[in-house]
Structure 1
C-alpha cells in the first residue's frame, strides 16, 4: 500500500524513492524528529518549523519497525492520512497540533473494532470516536494506530488469540505488561510519542514500568470514559481510568493540559470541569512525602526496594521531607475489595464474555475458578489464599455492604495521610518486567497498583534505575511473606532482568493529578541527574 511504501522509504531519509508522492524533504532527518521530546516537537509543529507530514511519516515508519519487532499494533487508522491533510489546512492551533498519537484497542475510534482480544468483536466497528479521541483531534492530534491488549483486559500481560503475543521492546523474552501492553511496547520502542490507555488495576502503570517509560492513572472520572470499552462492564467497586503514556513526565503534563479543556467537559458533562492547574504543576515548594518499601503482601524484588530507598535519599538531599507510611491489611484490600468487588456476581459477567471464544491464555485460571461449583471454591479456600472465596456470588445486601466498606477504607486511608500532613506518597512499583507467561501465573502481584484503583487516587510511574548484578544475586534469598506457590514463583518471574528498568510509583489524593505530576517530575529530574543511562 502507499502508506507502507512511504513508511519504508521515509525511514531512509535522503534516499526517499521517486515513487513516493507524499512530499518528503531530504533535509529533514527522521532520526532527529524521533529524538525530540513531545513539548519541543509540539512547539516546532505549531510554529511551523516542522511540517506535520514529516513528523507523521517519521512515526509511521518507526511504528512499522517496532510493530515488526514486538507485535504491538493491531491496526493502522487509514483515515489518519485524511486527518493529516485536514491538519495541514488548519491554523496551527491546538496544544497537540500535528502530533501522531497511538490508541489502545479498547478505546473507540470511528470505523474500527474495539476487540478486547475477543474474536466475536471483530468486524463490529465503532459508530463514533470516544470522547477522548474526539478531544485529541480537536487539539490537532492525529490518532494513527490502535495497539494490542490481553484478551478481556483483565491481565497484565499482552496476548490474545487474534493478534498474538506482544513482546517487550527492551528484551523480547519479557512481557511488555498490560493491559495497555501494546501502548507500552510502541511508546517504549520509540514508535509513538504519546499513547492513550486505560487502567483498572495497573494497566497503564505495568506497561510503563516494564518498558521504561512514564504513565499516569488519573482519578477515575478526571478524563471521560465514554466510548471506552471495559473488561467487566458495570462494576463500580474498583475505579477504572483513562490516561496517557509517554517517555517523560513533561509529555504527560502536556497531554493532560490538552485534554482537560472545554471540549472534554462539554462532550461529557459527567466529567468535572477542572482545567489543568499549571500553578500546582510548576510549584517548587518542598514536599512532605510519605513512603513505604513494601506492602507486606507481595515481597518486593531487591531492585524494587533499592529503587524506593535511592529515590527517598535523592528527595531528602533535594530538601523534601520523607515520612514513613505503614500499610496494613493489604491482603484484605486485594481479596475482599478488589477481587470480590470485580467478581461480585461470581464471575458470571466475566465468563459470559468468553462464550463462543477459545478459552486459552492468561485468563484460563480466572475462568476455571469462576465456573467452579461453590463446594469446590469452599474447599480450595482452605488450602490457598482467599482468592477463590472472592469469586463467589453475593446478595444485594452484601454488595451494598462491600461498597460501604470500600468507602470507609478510603476515608480511613485519607485520615492516616492527613494525620501525617502528607502532600504525596512514594511507593514501590512491580518490576523488573516479568518473563513472558508469568503475569498469568501471578495475578496476586497486582497489589502495589490495584490498591490505588480501590482508593481511586491518581498514581503515576517513573523509571529510576536499572536492575544490577547485585540485585540478581540478592534475588536468590527471596522467600516472600507466605512461602506459598505464588511466593515460590515470583523470583522466577523476576530472574534474568539485569539491565531492565525499575520504576517507582508516585501517588496523590483524588483530583490532584497536577500535584502527582509535579512529584513525578521531581523524581524524574533527580534520577536523571544521578543516572546517565536514562
Structure 2
C-alpha cells in the first residue's frame, strides 16, 4: 500500500500538468477566437465618435436657425406639456430636438451613456412638418431615446457583443415603427451590459465595445442594467422618454437606481424580440420622468398600428376607464421578500407609502411571497434552460466583459455540474399558486420594495441574489412599475451599518457593501398588477406618485 501511494504522486503531478496544459490551450484558443472582436471594437468606437460629431453638427445647424434659443424652459417641461405645445405649434420641432441633442451630448460626456446617433432624425423632423394637424400622432415631435437592442434601419443592435457589429438592421423594429407613426423622433441609442442579461450581473452597465456607464447622481455608482444607459440619460434630463426592456428587472433596476419611472409590461402586450436569449422572456416597456409620461407613451404604443404590424400581438387599446377610476384600492404589501433582507431604506419606503395610501382612503393588507426560494430556483432555470449553451455560443469569439467572467466560467463547467445548477422546472403551477393567494385576499394591486439604492460599480455580479425582488415578476409575467418615493437618509445609513442579511453569506455581505455611501440617492417602490392590467398598474403608480411627490423626509 505505501508503495502504491508513492507511485500515485507522479501520476497526480502528471494529471495536474495535463489539466494546466488544457486550461492554457483553452485560454490561447479563446484569445485567438477573440481576434475578430479586437479588430471590430476599435472600428465601432470610431464610428460612435464620428456619429456623435454628426450629432453635434446637427445641433449646431438647428441652433443657427434659432440663435436666441434657451433650452432650459424646454428641458424643464414634462412630456405631456411638451407634447401639447408641439401640437399647438407653441414650440418648433427644431427648438425641441436641438435642446435634447445638446443636453444628451453633455450627459454623455459625463456618464458615457450613448452608443449611436440616429442621424435620420433630421429627415424625420422635416417629414413631420409636412403633416396636416389631423395626421399628427400623440408623440408629434417628441425626441425619444432607445435602448441599444431596438432595431433601427441602418444601425447595429449589438447587445454589447462584437459579433453583432457591422450587421445593421434591415428595417426598423415594430415598436420603433409604431413610435414613428405616432410622431416621435428617435434620436439616440443607449448603452447596455454585455448580452443584456442584467440578471447575470445584477446591476452593471458595461461592455467591451462602449465601456462603463456611470450613474449621474453619483459617478461611483452604477445606473443599473440592462437599460442602464436609458436610466442615466433620463435621470440627467438628456431624454424625456425612452424605451427599455426587462428580463429580470432591466427596466426597474435602472429606474430605481437613477430616480426615474419605468414600466415592465405583460409579455406580448408590446411587440419586442431580443437577439441573444430567446428562451428567456424579455419584454418591452417605457421609461420616463413621471407617470403621466408613461401613460401617454402607452396610449401611443397600444394604437392599432402595433397589431397591424404584428398580428400576433393582441389588439388591446389603452383602457381609459380603468386608469381614470377613483375607487379605493385593496393593496397587498410586503417589506421583505423573505429571501434577500431589504436595506433599511427599501423597507422604510414601503412603510411610508403604505401610511400615505391608508391616509388617502385605500386599504392595505399584509402579503407574504409563497415559496420564495422555489421561485428563485424557477427563475434561474428559465435563464439557464439550456445549461447556458446559447449564452456561451453568443460569447464565442467575443471579448468577455469583466462583469460577465464569473458567470461564464460557471457555464463552461461540464454538463453534469450545470445540470445541478440549472435544472428545468415549469412555472405555470407557481404562477397559479401566487394568483390564488392574491385572489384569496381580494387584492387589486400589490406594493413591494424595489432593489435600491444604487450599487457601487463592480458589485453587480457579487450581490446577484438580490435579483429576487425584481426577477419574481418576470417569472410570474406580471406588469410592474417603479415609482421613486424617497431618498436615503442619514438614519438609513446608520441602520445599514448593522445589516447582516438572512444567510450571512458572501452575497449578503456584498449587498451591504454595494449600497454603502448612498446618502441622498433615490429609493423607489414597485407597483404590481395581474397580467394584462397595465392600466390598473399605472393608476396605482399615479396614486403613489401623487401622495409621495411632495412628501418631505428627514435628512
User: TM-score with structure 2 length normalisation?
Assistant: 0.87
The match for 1:195 is 242
Matched, 1:277 2:319: yes
The match for 2:40 is none
Question: How far did residue 85 of structure 1 move?
Answer: 0.9
Cα distance 1:248–1:518, how it changes in 2: closer, same or farther (>3 A)? same
The match for 2:174 is 131
The match for 1:243 is 285
Which structure has the larger Rg?
Answer: 2
Question: How far did residue 169 of structure 1 move?
Answer: 1.0
Question: How far did residue 25 of structure 1 move?
Answer: 5.1
- Residue 147 (structure 1) aligned to one of 186, 190, 213: 190
The match for 1:214 is 261
Question: How far did residue 441 of structure 1 move?
Answer: 1.5
CA distance in structure 1 between the aligned counterparts of 2:405 and 2:197, rounded to whole angstroms? 11
- Residue 164 (structure 2) aligned to one of 106, 110, 121: 121
Question: How far did residue 91 of structure 1 move?
Answer: 2.2
The match for 1:347 is 388
Q: SS of the residue aligned with 2:483?
A: strand
Contact 1:205–1:216, Cα closer than 8 Å, also in 2: yes
Contact 2:486–2:553, Cα closer than 8 Å, also in 1: no
The match for 2:123 is 82
- Residue 343 (structure 2) aligned to one of 301, 309, 313: 301
Question: How far did residue 2 of structure 1 move?
Answer: 5.8
The match for 2:366 is 324
The match for 1:182 is 229
Cα distance 1:161–1:519, how it changes in 2: closer, same or farther (>3 A)? same
**C-alpha deviations, 1:164-214, integer Å up to 9, x for none?**
000001111100001011000111110000000100100000000000000
Cα distance 1:188–1:348, how it changes in 2: closer, same or farther (>3 A)? same
**C-alpha deviations, 1:126-166, integer Å up to 9, x for none?**
00101000000000000000000000011231000000000
Question: How far did residue 84 of structure 1 move?
Answer: 0.9
Matched, 1:391 2:399: no
CA distance in structure 1 between the aligned counterparts of 2:488 and 2:550, rounded to whole angstroms? 18
CA distance in structure 2 between the aligned counterparts of 1:532 and 1:129, rounded to whole angstroms? 45
CA distance in structure 1 between the aligned counterparts of 2:552 and 2:300, rounded to whole angstroms? 31
Matched, 1:71 2:102: no
- Residue 328 (structure 2) aligned to one of 286, 298, 302: 286
Unaligned runs of 5+ in 2: 1-52
The match for 1:427 is 448
Cα distance 1:377–1:341, how it changes in 2: closer, same or farther (>3 A)? closer
Matched, 1:105 2:116: no
- Residue 7 (structure 1) aligned to one of 53, 59, 84: 59
The match for 2:219 is 172
The match for 2:42 is none
Q: SS of the residue aligned with 1:530?
A: coil
Q: SS of the residue aligned with 1:477?
A: coil
Where in structure 1 do 4 or more consecutive aligned residues deviate above 4 Å? 374-378
CA distance in structure 2 between the aligned counterparts of 1:3 and 1:443, rounded to whole angstroms? 37
The match for 2:274 is 229
Matched, 1:36 2:77: yes
CA distance in structure 1 between the aligned counterparts of 2:125 and 2:537, rounded to whole angstroms? 33
Question: How far did residue 375 of structure 1 move?
Answer: 5.7
Matched, 1:50 2:91: yes
The match for 2:473 is 452
Contact 2:330–2:442, Cα closer than 8 Å, also in 1: yes
Unaligned runs of 5+ in 1: 11-15, 379-388, 393-398
The match for 2:534 is 513
Matched, 1:443 2:491: no
CA distance in structure 2 between the aligned counterparts of 1:45 and 1:527, rounded to whole angstroms? 30
The match for 1:385 is none
Cα distance 1:291–1:391, how it changes in 2: closer, same or farther (>3 A)? same
- Count of residues in Structure 1 that have an aligned counterpart in Structure 2: 496
CA distance in structure 1 between the aligned counterparts of 2:121 and 2:216, rounded to whole angstroms? 25
Contact 1:369–1:391, Cα closer than 8 Å, also in 2: no
CA distance in structure 2 between the aligned counterparts of 1:137 and 1:33, rounded to whole angstroms? 21
Question: How far did residue 377 of structure 1 move?
Answer: 5.6
CA distance in structure 1 between the aligned counterparts of 2:463 and 2:157, rounded to whole angstroms? 27
